[in-house]
Amino acid sequence: MEKEKCRQEICESGLHEECGVFGIYDFDGGNVASSIYYGLFALQHRGQESCGIAVSETNGPKGKVSAYKGMGLVNEVFTQENLERLNGDIGVGHVRYSTAGASTRENAQPLVLNYVKGTLALAHNGNLINAKELREDLEYTGAIFQTTIDSEVIAYHIARERLNSKTVEEAVLRACRKIKGAYSLVIMSPRKLIGARDPYGFRPLCIGRRDNAYIIASETCALDTIGAEYVRDVLPGEVVTITPERGVISDLSNALPKEREARCVFEYIYFARPDSHIDGVSVYHSRIQAGRFLAMDSPVEADLVVGVPESGNAAALGYSLQSGIPYGTAFVKNGYVGRTFIKPKQSSRESSVRIKLNVLREAVDQKRVIMIDDSIVRGTTSDRIVKMLRDAGASEVHVRIASPPFLWPCYFGTDIPERKQLIAYNRSLEDIRKTIGADTLAYLDESRMSEMAQGLPICKGCFTGTYPMEPPKEDIRGNYEK
């Protein structure tokens, strides 16, 4: 019960994405642990529950993997001492926020698998919709699971396929043909680094290079952090293999079959860092565009446009640029509030929102304010922020949301709760406006989203209920314990 209450409190602070992955292979034999550490630091926004690093020496004992993982932020889990113990020229790292499987150390990644053909270390971003059936099939053939996450199901299938495959990348390709849903994978074998992206391209994955080292990461911002240059994105349905002999290998003739591509539009709205590019599209530019569209479609007279930090800021600037209304800063964010801060009791006067955000009274006093946020999930945070602006003297508060209303859950790695918990479910726009206490309220029009992603095929299932693949008949999110 406490665990579920904790999950609800986390969800109230906004949406969460499942994970970030990072892999590197230094062909010159340099130690990669510190590069993985800094890469994960850059991807911390993608998951704050747990993190881990696994490395291996390609010229050392075959199959020997050094790994360390734990609960908490990257700088909480890793110290100089435990990083120095991770020696290897190839490695993978992971940051996690759970949408499926309990939040425990056992479920932290990367997963390290020892099997008859050697070792694998796997980091997974996404969510499978057929994990439950695949898991049960494996259990009935004798498999013993150590975690409750769908990533272990992927690892088991790769290990099984490897028994009848000439190469590990062939085994990865065969395993990927069995799994359904969202997955971006980084896999370390004793002599290869492999990346795989599902045929829909739900989650991002890119390739970078620094001198004689290659990197596979969730976002380009991780490449920038370690001084690597962007090479290209891993294509939806593609499996790439990195080796010193041949560099980046990809056989697109064996690409995973697909009906359509469907990138998660929330990567552009909220999940990704604004300094990242996903499939050639600037996340920052997408958010500026969202704000411009809101100003075009839902104008209102006001004195100031402000964003709810951090993801609302770029959209607020876009609204300002389009409307001519001055852009300003209304909120000061406490940058030292991590995932582990002690939340106040309900009886306490302290608000968890006020601990994270405070309003600059001088900026909003006696002003008509347009407040831009990336989304409204339950609405419990939005009403508090609107009230904070009014308490600071704002004469009017007009709320604009840089996404359409959430009406459906997501099964592909986004922590959107069941329908009855969504504020937009069975409520009119006017009902929502009254609930959050705004003078006016408008959402981004659903038709604008493709323009925002510059025409890339996107998934809009959480807004429309039309998913790119048949959703599961039961809600598969949560623990897999029986």
Q: Is 19 a catalytic residue?
A: yes
- The single residue listed with the structure tokens 């001084």 is 227
Q: Tell me how far apart the alpha carbons of residues 213 and 88 are, in angstroms, rounded to a whole number.
A: 13
Residues 6+ apart with CB under 8 A from 142: none
- Looking up tokens 């309990």 gives 102
Annotated catalytic residue: which of 6, 11, 19, 51? 19
**Side-chain half-sphere exposure of 451, counting CA atoms within 13 A:** 13
Catalytic residues: 19
